[in-house]
Amino acid sequence: MTAPSDLHVFVYGTLRRGEANDINRLRPAPRYLGQARICGVLYDLGPYPGLVLGGTDPVLGEVYAIVPELERQLDAIEAVAPVPSGEYARRHVELVLDGRPLRCLVYEIDPLRVRGRPRINAGDWLQRR
């Protein structure tokens, strides 16, 4: 079984602080670890973004330590469980936070869902406005 301190999530859109699904409003509360960047392409889907992993463009997000109960809530918000919608998939990425590597859960959009949608060139959902 994974120790709670070993679970981490990278959030890049509506789960970020102050956004519609702010992860900090969920219980049990996550522990904020800092900002980080991963490589990918961020798309504007109107009320929320979608991230396609890969490439060289940096995407800015927040990293949190979470417990399994909170992970299950995030899966429900992103519609990957209990019955997957097919819009997002759970992925794990390695990122660097405070100079050390960290394995994080991230929710990646199905690339078919972003066809024809505008890119968020800054790689930061909060800068799209």
How far is residue 34 from each of residues 12, 55, 122, measured CA to CA in Å?
Answer: 12, 23, 19
Per-residue confidence in pLDDT tens, the chain, 129 aa: 334 458 999 999 999 999 999 999 999 999 999 999 999 999 999 999 999 999 889 999 999 999 999 999 999 999 998 777 899 999 999 999 999 999 999 999 999 999 999 999 899 999 976
Distance linking the first and last C-alpha atoms of the chain:
41
pLDDT at 129: 60
Number of domains in the chain: 1
Instruction: Report the CATH number at residue 45.
Output: 3.10.490.10
Domain residue limits at 13: 4-127
pLDDT at 124: 96
Q: In what order do the strands lie in the sheet with 100-109?
A: 31-44, 49-65, 8-11, 100-109, 88-97
Catalytic residue among 69, 78, 87, 94: 78
CA triple 10-88-12, angle to 5 deg: 30
Q: Is 19 a catalytic residue?
A: no
**Contact between residue 38 and residue 102 where contact means Cβ atoms under 8 Å apart:** no
User: What's the number of CA atoms in the CB half-sphere (13 Å) around residue 116?
Assistant: 1
Closest CA to 111 of 90, 88, 92: 88
